[in-house]
Amino acid sequence: MKVLHLAWEYPPYKVGGLGTHIEELAQAQAQKGVEPIVIACSFEKKTGKTIENGVTVYRFDSDHLPAEDFPSWALEMNILMYNQAAAAIADECGVDIIHAHDWIVSSCAVSLKHTYRIPLVSTIHSLEVGRRGGIYDDRQTLINDLEKKMAYESWRVIACSHFMKQSISETFHTPWDKIDVIPNGVNIAKHEIQFNKNEIRSRYSLPHEKLILFVGRHVWEKGVDVALGAIHSVLKEVPDAKLVIVGHGYMTDKCKALAHQMGVGDKVCFTGYVDDWTVSALTNSSDVVIVPSRYEPFGIAALDAMACKVPVIVSDTGGLSEIIEHEKDGLKVWCGHSESLAHGIVRLLKDENLRRALADNAYEKVSKIYAWKHVAEMTNTIYSRVLEEYTKNSWKPKPIGREN
């Protein structure tokens, strides 16, 4: 079975968790007998074909597209994806399934589906209506329409949580029985690294400080400002706490200014973007990891913390609510509520036994449930179902020279 994954980001070029998801899924599929092919954007002129851990990756040049905003860039990128890579691969390799990841590749995916009569499966990782808290302008309307089109055109739709399944069904009126729920996974082995804990901590905190970690894009839906709002209250109870914020985004400068306005600038460290190894080492070195998202279809950051045996506090919202069982393998706090988050942080920092118990239970959970091999097996089962239905269907490629 040859599966063509369409994605705009793929390691080592990543923006969020999407690239990691596709990489881990494709590599796990390769171990299960599926032949995964990935088409993704290249950056820094590193184009061409590579084979990485059993996955064939084609990267096409998308560095210099004349676009005034990201949606415009995405639409132009889809044309390049189709013309420079996708059509040729479909011609030469004989693809059985197209697997599209999010609206950013939807135009290419739908065009490829109809040109070659190949069944399309899509994973909708998040929705514009959730990321922005509504649809308010033309750009958001465009993205929402592309998401709806992809859901409509797909043979099956994959959601990463039951929360996302309900969101997709309600937003686009997608039939309930067309949507399959497959959670994201975590690669525990990637977090079992050799590092000097004291050296890592010394980069971001003083030896006596207790390290609270936030990893994510600095955007409204990730709640980075909620984390900042909590630290002021935390310091009243735990003066030696230190908040380390990894990542960047359109809210970075605003949050830096807010930290100084609140008088906690010396207790908050903004690291900017750091590589995967450093994130893993920093997570392993932390006392508590927080995921205070306002909108979270799943919550890979929580899985990463659980895989590192570090206690995690999450907002009681979206997919995060499905990952964490309160007071068993993590703590849940009110969504968008800094004081609730602060209460949870203080509770864990003051109770080492609770921290250890939550971390141990969380590690056991991710080991059993969230391994990528299980994700690949469930995804491959959906492919098999689609191909079985496809073979019984009259929707097939037409012989050359005959009318469609």
Q: Which residues pair with 106 in a beta bridge?
A: none
Residue 102 identity (one-letter amino acid): D
Tokens 């079985």 found at: 388
d(CA 155, CA 180): 11
- Is there a domain that residue 402 lies in? no
User: CA torsion 63→65→68→74, rounded to 10°?
Assistant: -80
Residue (of 316, 395, 310) closest to 354 by Cα position: 310
Q: Are residues 216 and 339 in the same domain?
A: yes
- Structurally, the chain folds into a number of domains equal to 2
Is residue 404 included in any domain, yes or no? no
Q: Are residues 177 and 46 in the same domain?
A: yes
Stated pTM of the model: 0.88
Q: Tokens 């927080």 — which residue? A: 290
Helix (H/G/I), strand (E/B), else coil: 218: coil
| pLDDT value of residue 62 | 82
Task: Give the domain CATH number at 378.
Answer: 3.40.50.2000
Which tokens in the block code for residue 209? 């400080």
Structural domain harbouring 245: 188-369
Confidence (pLDDT) at 401: 43
Residue type, 343: H
60 located within any domain = yes
**Domain assignment of residue 403, yes or no:** no
CA distance 265 to 149: 45
pLDDT, position 404: 46
**Sign of the four-CA dihedral 180, 23, 69, 84:** negative
Residue 208 contacts by C-beta under 8 Å, 6 or more apart in sequence? 240
Does 234 map to a domain?
yes
Chain segment 220-273, per-residue pLDDT in tens: 999 999 999 999 999 999 999 999 999 999 999 999 999 999 999 999 999 998
**pLDDT at residue number 64:** 78
Q: Are residues 299 and 356 in the same domain?
A: yes
Statement to judge: residues 99 and 148 lie in one domain: yes
Q: Tokens at residue 186, please?
A: 């975590």
Same domain membership, residue 203 and residue 173: no
Which residue stretches of 94-196 are H helix?
106-116, 128-131, 138-153, 162-172
- DSSP symbol at 189: G
Which two structure tokens, joined as six digits, stand for 191? 């977090």
Same domain, 194 and 157: no
In this structure, the answer to whether residues 234 and 100 fall within a common structural domain is no
By CB atoms closer than 10 A (0-12, 13-18, 19+), residue 262 is middle
Would 397 be classed as within a structural domain?
A: no
Asked if residue 46 lies in contact with residue 395, where contact means CB atoms within 8 angstroms, the answer is no
Length of the chain: 404
Q: How confident is the model at residue 110, as a pLDDT? A: 97
How high is the pLDDT of residue 398?
A: 61
Residue 399 resides in a domain: no
pLDDT of residue 18: 87
Q: What is the dihedral of CA 188, 191, 192, 195, to 10 degrees?
A: 180
Q: Do residues 227 and 313 both lie within one domain?
A: yes
Question: Are 159 and 289 in a shared domain?
Answer: no
Residue 17 belongs to a domain: yes
Helix (H) or strand (E) holding 21: helix 18-30
Q: At 362, phi and psi to the nearest 5?
A: -65, -40
Same domain flag for 310 and 344: yes
Q: Are residues 362 and 257 in the same domain?
A: yes
- 181 lies in the same domain as 192: no
∠ CA 352-356-359, rounded to 5°: 135
Taking 50 as the pLDDT cut, the residues of the chain under it are 400-404
